[in-house]
Amino acid sequence: MGMSRAWVLVVAALAVVACKKPNAGDPCKTDGKQICVDKASSIVCVDSKWEALPCRGVTGCMTTAGDVSCSNESYNDGEPCDITSDKFECGPDKKSMVKCEGKHWKLSDKCLGPAGCVSSASEVNCDDSVSEIAAPCFPEGDPACSVDGKQMLKCKDSKMAAHLNCRGAHACRKVADKIDCDDSLALVGDPCVDDDDPACSVDKKSMLKCKSTKMVEAKKCKGGCTVMPDTIECN
């Protein structure tokens, strides 16, 4: 006896349901399981919920003999990652670096220097010679210039913080492998590091000196204060 039209429709409907792929946000059972959604994207089971993961690489998302390959050389903050990994990768904008922590990629450093973030098979290089206040950073004490070049920043408690004002002609810049802050010009109250370190006031009418981490006026310069290559002169 042939199958009735009603049964054919039921079987077809069940086949469609069985083949339907889950969406990001749907519940899942096997953590780490991955499914290709299309050529350029996948979903990953993380803590019993499907999460979206783009496949930005040349080969995109492929399934071979049941194994899923999601090609990627960069990741966004918050995207799922392999929980067995603790490696670094570049962000898609090539101006940030992320690290796999707790099943997700986490923004680790801003790479706002000219070289940006560059990833190879063996390592990731982040040019963090330029950064922003409150940007994540490491290691502690690592210096950088602000985006406008007017300040030197330093990594404090894993966040970039203002360190020095760089009011001199050379502002803040990278020289060889070091961050240089031209603080030969300053305002009273500007932060400073070394006691007795001199500077000219911005209006060139006074010589200032560092005292207890703050710039104070040392003396008036009737003939003007001059910044020389190796010294500050009060005329």
- CATH at 232: 2.30.130
User: Number of structural domains, the chain?
Assistant: 2
Q: Are 232 and 198 in contact (CB under 8 A)?
A: yes
Place of tokens 């706002």: 112
Domain annotation covers residue 12 = no
pLDDT reading at 3 higher than 70: no
Give me the amino acid identity at 110: K
How many angstroms separate the CA atoms of 189 and 94, rounded? 38
Domain annotation covers residue 177 = no
Q: Whole-structure pTM over 0.85, yes or no?
A: no
Containing structural domain, residue 235: 183-235
Q: Are 127 and 117 in contact (CB under 8 A)?
A: yes
**Which of 19, 37, 72 is the last residue before a domain boundary?**
72
Instruction: Report pLDDT for 83.
Output: 61
Strand partners, 45: 50
Domain annotation covers residue 32 = yes
**For 95-152, how does the pLDDT look when each residue is reduced to its tens digit (9 = 90+)?**
999 999 889 999 988 999 999 999 887 889 999 999 999 999 888 999 999 999 999 9
Domain annotation covers residue 199 = yes
Contacts of 52 (CB under 8 A, 6+ apart): 24, 37, 41, 42, 43, 79
**CA angle 124-91-159, nearest 5°?**
85
Domain annotation covers residue 231 = yes
Instruction: Report pLDDT for 85.
Output: 60
Q: What is the DSSP letter of 226?
A: E
Domain annotation covers residue 187 = yes
**For 45-84, how does the pLDDT look when each residue is reduced to its tens digit (9 = 90+)?**
999 999 999 999 999 999 998 899 999 889 999 999 876 6
